[in-house]
Structure 1
Amino acid sequence: MGLKSVLSKVFAARVNRELNYLRKNAIALQQKTFTDLVDAAKDTAFGKAHNFAQINNYQDFKANVPVHDYEDLRPYIDRVVKGEENVLWPGKPKYLAKTSGTTSGVKYIPISKESMPQHIKAARNALLSYIHETGNADFVDGKMIFLQGSPVLAEKNGVSTGRLSGIVAHHVPAYLQKNRLPSYATNCIEDWEQKVDAIVEETHNQDMRLISGIPPWCQMYFDRLSAKAGGKKIKDIFPNFKLYVHGGVNYEPYRTRMEDSIGFGIDSIETYPASEGFIAFQDSQKEKGLLLLVDSGIFYEFIPSEEYFNEKPTRINLKDVELEKNYALIMNTSAGLWGYSLGDTIKFISKDPYKIVVTGRIKHYISAFGEHVIGEEVEHALMSVAKQEGIDVVEFTVAPQVNPPAGQLPYHEWFVEFGTPPANLQAFAIKVDKALQTKNIYYFDLIEGNILQPLIIQSLQKDAFINYMRSEGKLGGQNKVPRLANDRKIADGLKGYIS
């Protein structure tokens, strides 16, 4: 055991004590965060326009600050991007994180000098929580790889601008820099396929012990590593590889294939970072859920997802949440995002401490017929049946077919890339449909009432989703295919890949 791993255990014990305080004092910490945020921003343009100086409690806040999406806040953010100070938060942001919105085009999310350290602290604490619980710290003595965007930053009116993962690369602690791969030059490669090939060349003979990245792109890395090594499992290429860190999409649909590539059931840590803030991380290998970070400069609000599009939806803070209820997540941050709808839905599975699971996206659902099917439901339906049947699913997405061939009822059309396809696709589809009916009563009623016919699965060619993403210019990085949509854009794009 090296010096770094020994010291990390000492540090992990200290961080665990801090996290225990967070776990036991979540409501008080959220109240303090609320007070501090409002007070800090009362003299900004947004604070003056929304009467922050007169806000004394959460009810006052709701009365003065409406829920916003990016487009609602764009007039303020545009002023920030143009270099104006004291707009949403005191001074100028430290960075602008560049993201691609589905409806907003390019988005610029401010990251302040107060919010940036919270991203690093949360990522660090996720690893230290793992070390404290398991005692496994050897990975800090070996090489670590982070599959991420380019660290090359542009500048907009005096503010550095780039992808969040590229920005974070500039803040990796010095004690980890020598352990970190790939090299800076390789990380700067923009073309994802060239970048993955370069990473394979740099890492295939290294002592890799921790790998981090979005599951589909890590799988692509593993596939190319294995091909270079003549079909070897990842465990034989990296004998000391013991920990996988992931976020951005639900890992469960990818787990079977990933672990088959690796060669064993590896420990994993799920994180919930966003450009807007680092929200939660998995703090235990024994318990489900992600620990909500209540002292990271974010004051959280929640709207029951079924009310989200109402004119006056219910809007609550942490103390009033209920278990197993689906909420749209609303954020107020130390970078100046106010009443900001992240677009994600979550549910609480514990209140002692407050732990969540991510259930989907507000705009990623199917309700063409009033069924309001969400991501969590389609993932459960497909993966539970696939597990029972021993079927390997690579990737999938779902869309409504509202204009079926003459004489047919409408249906949900599933586009699935299988690793090992079912022997009888129609029988498999019937089981998935039954599983979805048990998860969503509205869908059940529509099937029973002959409004919809059971779902239809289209089996796709190998690498269909990679090829589709390449054709859209969205291969790699933080890009991912939505699990479901209420329109046919992705479905129509995948029609050419049906096997």
Structure 2
Amino acid sequence: MAIIGSLIKGIIELRDKMVSEPNAEEAQLGVLKKLLNTAKNTEFGKNYDFEHILESDDPKKEFSAKVPYFDYNKINEQWWSKMHEGKEDVTWPGKPPYFALSSGTTGKTSKRIPVTEDMVDAIRQSGIKQVSALSNFDLPADFFEKEIMMLGSSTDLQTEGDHQEGEISGISASNIPFWFRGYYKPGEDIAKIEEWDDRIQRIAENAKNWDIGALSGIPSWMELMLKKVIEYHNAENIHEIWPNLQVYTSGGVAFEPYSKSFNALLAHPITVIDTYLASEGFLAYQQRPDTHAMKLVMDNGIYFEFVPLKAEYVNEDGSITDDAEVVPLSEVKEEVDYILLISTVSGAWRYLIGDTIKFTDLEKHEIKITGRTKFFLNVVGSQLSVNKMNDAVQELEERFDIQIPEFTLAAVRIDGEFFHSWYLGTTSKLNDDDLAEALDESLKAANKNYKVARSKALKGVKVKTIDPNLFNEWNALNKKKGGQVKMERVMNEEKFAEWEDFIATQK
């Protein structure tokens, strides 16, 4: 009998029963007031008169009226850059001990996003909420005695002056509670290895020494790690190495596009739990098993606002217009795409995180990530969001019985006419024209704007199938392997030309 596991499971279930859900709107108002009050004497707080906002009859309304939208470039240029010059009390009291490096899905230059002690604590508290939610998944007691493989970036953070820098997964892993370290794999020594390939090699070499019950990390890199472990031990699937593997906690991107290729590495299905941990904070987690939607964390250091995803609100670079409409939590609707804005205990204010979401259950405040503002493809009025692209690619997988874990596309001009040019990552040998026709028909059926565009300025769809590993090599060339690195789903013409040049050199 799993005595320790039974005790842990019992404690989790008891905590889940004792901790009641807060009223979301009241919790969000409380978070906003606490953020404003804490930061009122910072440069930012004084500049936007947080004292006045706090004294107003409607702080939410006054906040949205006084403080403009910020994307990374704008807030970094105007405010966060001052921290690198040694200034304190800029957008949050004091100076942050960490900066999260994030190249996101575009560009080679890393963003440097402040991570305060308050944010480290908020991420930890949200992690505890997620662990408590495991009581809803009917997992056996012995699961709670197994080890957890957390595959992120290196925990060997770089010291820069008075702070440390690294990806958020590395910062989080370097701050895990002492009581959790016995469960944490690959362990501190391996986790500090900077080079992805070296780290994965060490994981493969040590894999049989560990009794892994759960995995955590971005799907694309998790797949590569599992394949390496399977190959190293000449196994058929990962359950031959880790027979007690029962849970995978995904994050960073939608899991659905990877589900078919991921499940091919298993002997039997496991429980997949989605999370939403970004460089800017731990925003949401899956609370129950009968959905892939995630519950927004309403009472823990992040204040949310929502901008309807409309073509007229989105600039070409993925930022939003100054006059974009903002919708409060009380007025959001289900199955409508929104651009997410956050204000946080790290001193981000009305910050465009870059993701689009939709509410799937208003009562439970559950969401799904539907895409990125930079990946909103509207060059010729097609108004394609990433979730529509993901759905169409999944239809291809089912129709042709293939795996397509990665893809990218761009609107390109050929002889003066626009086409959508797709690259699909698959090892299957199928006719590209057949895939293009099926993809086109799927998108027409799912998106009326796309259908109209196809009858006018958008002349057609072109598809090229390539080895899925080329997407990882592109990321390695432009950014680096592993961690929070994600493939860009949509490229502009200039970036797409670089991509096609890269692909041409790989043949």
| TM-score, normalized by the shorter chain, greater than 0.5 | yes
Instruction: Check if 1:68 corresponds to 2:75.
Output: no
Instruction: Check if 1:446 corresponds to 2:460.
Output: no
Counterpart Cα distance in 2 of 1:409 and 1:107: 35
Q: 1:467 to 1:310 in 2, by over 3 A?
A: closer
Query: What amino acid is aligned across from residue 140 of structure 1 in structure 2?
Result: F
Instruction: Check if 1:195 corresponds to 2:193.
Output: no
Q: 1:207 to 1:273 in 2, by over 3 A?
A: same
Partner of 2:9: 9
Tell me the SS of whatever aligns to 2:484. coil
Tell me the SS of whatever aligns to 2:405. strand
Q: Is the 8 A contact 1:395 1:416 kept in 2?
A: yes
Where do 5+ consecutive residues of structure 2 fail to align? Answer: 315-319
Counterpart Cα distance in 1 of 2:425 and 2:138: 36
Query: What amino acid is aligned across from residue 447 of structure 2 in structure 1?
Result: N
How far 1:420 moved relative to its partner? 2.8
Q: 1:103 to 1:415 in 2, by over 3 A?
A: closer
Q: 1:164 to 1:484 in 2, by over 3 A?
A: same
Tell me the SS of whatever aligns to 1:420. coil
Tell me the SS of whatever aligns to 1:469. helix
Tell me the SS of whatever aligns to 2:269. coil
Query: What amino acid is aligned across from residue 489 of structure 1 in structure 2?
Result: K
Partner of 2:403: 392
Deviation track 1:259-297 (CA, whole Å, cap 9, x = no partner) reads 111122211111001121110011111124100100011
The list of structure 1 runs, each at least 4 consecutive aligned residues, that deviate by more than 6 angstroms after superposition, is none
How far 1:58 moved relative to its partner? 1.5
Counterpart Cα distance in 2 of 1:238 and 1:81: 45
Partner of 2:92: 89
Tell me the SS of whatever aligns to 1:115. helix
Partner of 2:248: 244
Counterpart Cα distance in 1 of 2:129 and 2:436: 42
Partner of 2:370: 359
How far 1:151 moved relative to its partner? 1.1
Query: What amino acid is aligned across from residue 120 of structure 1 in structure 2?
Result: R
Counterpart Cα distance in 2 of 1:104 and 1:31: 38
Q: Is the 8 A contact 2:69 2:322 kept in 1?
A: no
Tell me the SS of whatever aligns to 2:123. helix
Partner of 1:51: 49
Counterpart Cα distance in 2 of 1:40 and 1:374: 37
Return the match for 1:437 from 444, 449, 454.
444
Deviation track 1:211-269 (CA, whole Å, cap 9, x = no partner) reads 11111111111111111222421112211111111101111111111111112221111
Q: Is the 8 A contact 1:365 1:486 kept in 2?
A: no
Query: What amino acid is aligned across from residue 39 of structure 1 in structure 2?
Result: N
Q: 1:440 to 1:341 in 2, by over 3 A?
A: same
Counterpart Cα distance in 1 of 2:239 and 2:451: 44
Counterpart Cα distance in 2 of 1:213 and 1:65: 35
Normalising by structure 2, report the TM-score. Answer: 0.92
Tell me the SS of whatever aligns to 1:373. coil
Tell me the SS of whatever aligns to 1:366. coil
Q: 1:115 to 1:298 in 2, by over 3 A?
A: same
Q: 1:251 to 1:200 in 2, by over 3 A?
A: same
Counterpart Cα distance in 2 of 1:239 and 1:97: 35
Counterpart Cα distance in 1 of 2:130 and 2:157: 26
384-393 or 126-135, larger mean C-alpha shift: 126-135
Return the match for 1:267 from 246, 258, 271.
271
Counterpart Cα distance in 1 of 2:269 and 2:429: 22
How far 1:63 moved relative to its partner? 1.9
Where do 5+ consecutive residues of structure 1 fail to align? Answer: none
Deviation track 1:372-430 (CA, whole Å, cap 9, x = no partner) reads 2111111101112311321111311111122x1x4x842111101113343x4322321
1:167-316 paired onto structure 2 within 5 Å = 167-306=171-310, 307-308=313-314, 309-316=320-327
Counterpart Cα distance in 2 of 1:152 and 1:392: 35
Q: 1:104 to 1:221 in 2, by over 3 A?
A: closer
Counterpart Cα distance in 2 of 1:172 and 1:466: 28
Paired-residue identity, %: 28
191-200 or 98-107, larger mean C-alpha shift: 98-107
Instruction: Check if 1:133 corresponds to 2:137.
Output: yes
Deviation track 1:429-463 (CA, whole Å, cap 9, x = no partner) reads 211111111222221012123x2233111011352
Q: Is the 8 A contact 1:460 1:498 kept in 2?
A: no
Q: 1:326 to 1:462 in 2, by over 3 A?
A: closer
Q: 1:239 to 1:430 in 2, by over 3 A?
A: same
Count of aligned pairs: 492
Return the match for 1:419 from 421, 427, 438.
427
Counterpart Cα distance in 1 of 2:482 and 2:439: 29
Return the match for 2:169 from 165, 170, 176.
165
Counterpart Cα distance in 2 of 1:259 and 1:474: 25
Counterpart Cα distance in 2 of 1:112 and 1:364: 29
Partner of 2:332: 321
Q: Is the 8 A contact 1:82 1:156 kept in 2?
A: no
How far 1:20 moved relative to its partner? 4.3
Q: Is the 8 A contact 1:126 1:283 kept in 2?
A: yes
Counterpart Cα distance in 2 of 1:394 and 1:9: 34
Tell me the SS of whatever aligns to 1:211. strand
How far 1:103 moved relative to its partner? 5.8
Deviation track 1:138-188 (CA, whole Å, cap 9, x = no partner) reads 333122211111112233342232221111112222222112211322212
Counterpart Cα distance in 1 of 2:126 and 2:503: 41
Return the match for 1:467 from 467, 473, 488.
473
Q: 1:35 to 1:104 in 2, by over 3 A?
A: farther
Query: What amino acid is aligned across from residue 68 of structure 2 in structure 1?
Result: P
Q: Is the 8 A contact 1:147 1:212 kept in 2?
A: yes
Instruction: Check if 1:478 corresponds to 2:476.
Output: no
